[in-house]
Amino acid sequence: MGKKQLWMVIAGLVALNCFTIIFFLSKPEWASSNGETVATVGNDSISRQEWLNELEARYGKDTLKDLVDQKVVEQMAKKYHIKVSEQDVNRELKMMKTRYGTYGQQNGNEEKWKQQIKDNILLEELLTRDVVIKEEELKSYYEQNKSLFDIPDSYHISQIVTKSKKDAEQTLRELEQGSNFQALAMERSIDEFTANQGGDLGFVSEEDERIPASVFNKLKELKPGKWSKPIKTEKGYTIVFLHEKVPGKKYSYKEVKGQIRRQIALEQMDVPVSAQTFWKEAKVDWFYGKGEKE
């Protein structure tokens, strides 16, 4: 599995975790109000129990599997004395944000991302714990792929693109009067790729071809939480909002040695990066069958 594909899996797991929290933490309240109506359509109604049954049918197995996988990884990591440092988690989060382009405003709580990244590193360490990679091979990989570990200054931005200066100035006035940037982007932006996301472009760097030089030059002057004045571009006029700036960093061989070892080892093993590998060892017994895999 490629690294970018892996980050997309993590993104999906984080979203699933959000559903898990809502579903399980609220269950006692739901159980006591099964007859409550949650929606009406004309003379027809939808009960809370109907809603919950549909949620469980669609997401129940995946949600439970995710919870089981988390517990399996935790227990196996303790068994084999495997730990992950905060530095490793922060480094991979930074790479995910800036290099792989899978992190944006819609991705929610950063702490959930960090926990999922930690769990993923633990799983990779568990799967590759007996694999030995020669130092020469690790160093050779680093030298041949230095660009992967050279992170440029990156900016998490949203944008509103309008056809005319008049529309842009009107939008700016509404922002200054307290209107929501995301809502205005969805309503007014003519950029088909970001409008539905509330203008969110995720993280971009100076080498990103999606960002005109005129916009990027203004972007570098902004402080997080601020928006620019309308900027003339080929498409019309752009107002850009800066959520966060991540300073660039060039990682040394020592800092990424463990990451390289895991990646090479997984490629050599050619096995799924899945906690289900350890289900039997962890003696999993769940609602869908004792130790049964999907």
What does the pLDDT read at residue 13?
A: 52
Higher-pLDDT residue of 275 and 7 is 275
- Asked if pLDDT for residue 25 goes beyond 50, the answer is no
Using a 10 angstrom Cβ sphere, with 0-12 exposed, 13-18 middle and 19 or more buried, the burial of residue 220 is exposed
CA dihedral of 176, 179, 184, 188, whole degrees rounded to 10: -60
Q: Are residues 70 and 62 in contact, defined by beta-carbon separation less than 8 angstroms?
A: no
CA dihedral of 73, 122, 95, 272, whole degrees rounded to 10: -70
Split at pLDDT 50, 70, 90, the class of 82 is very high
- Asked if pLDDT for residue 133 goes beyond 70, the answer is yes
What does the pLDDT read at residue 90?
A: 93
Return the residue matching tokens 């068994």: 79
Which domains are present in the chain? Answer: 3-148+252-290 (no CATH), 153-246 (3.10.50.40)
Average pLDDT of the chain?
87
What is the percent of the chain with per-residue pLDDT over 70, rounded to a whole number?
84
Write out the H or E segment, with its range, that includes residue 94.
helix 86-98
pLDDT average, residue stretch 78-99: 92
- Asked if pLDDT for residue 202 goes beyond 60, the answer is yes
- CA torsion sign, 98 to 103 to 247 to 181? positive
**Interatomic CA distance for residues 189 and 167, integer angstroms:** 10
Token pair listed for 78: 């303790």
Of 114-123, 207-216, 235-244, 251-260, least confident by mean pLDDT is 207-216
Of 3-7, 31-35, 95-99, 288-292, least confident by mean pLDDT is 3-7
**Interatomic CA distance for residues 235 and 229, integer angstroms:** 16
Give the tens place of pLDDT for each residue, 216-251.
Answer: 999 999 999 999 999 999 999 999 999 999 999 999
Q: Are residues 160 and 198 in contact, defined by beta-carbon separation less than 8 angstroms?
A: no
Q: Phi-psi bin for 121: left (phi > 0), alpha (psi -120 to 50), beta?
A: alpha
pLDDT average, residue stretch 137-166: 95
The 3-state DSSP class for residue 288 equals coil
Of 119-123, 218-222, 281-285, 286-290, least confident by mean pLDDT is 286-290
Return the residue matching tokens 């009960």: 47
Q: Provide the 8-state DSSP code for 196.
A: G
**Interatomic CA distance for residues 255 and 150, integer angstroms:** 12
**Interatomic CA distance for residues 215 and 220, integer angstroms:** 9
- CA torsion sign, 116 to 120 to 121 to 123? positive
Split at pLDDT 50, 70, 90, the class of 1 is very low
Question: Given the DSSP bridges, would you call strands 44-47 and 150-151 parallel, antiparallel or unpaired?
Answer: unpaired
Partner residues linked to 159 by β-bridges: 240
Token pair listed for 75: 């227990």
**Interatomic CA distance for residues 62 and 177, integer angstroms:** 44
User: How far from 83 is each of 118, 186, 283, CA to CA, in Å?
Assistant: 9, 43, 22
Q: Provide the 8-state DSSP code for 227.
A: B
pLDDT average, residue stretch 252-266: 96
Cα angle for residues 274, 277, 283 (degrees, 5° grid): 125
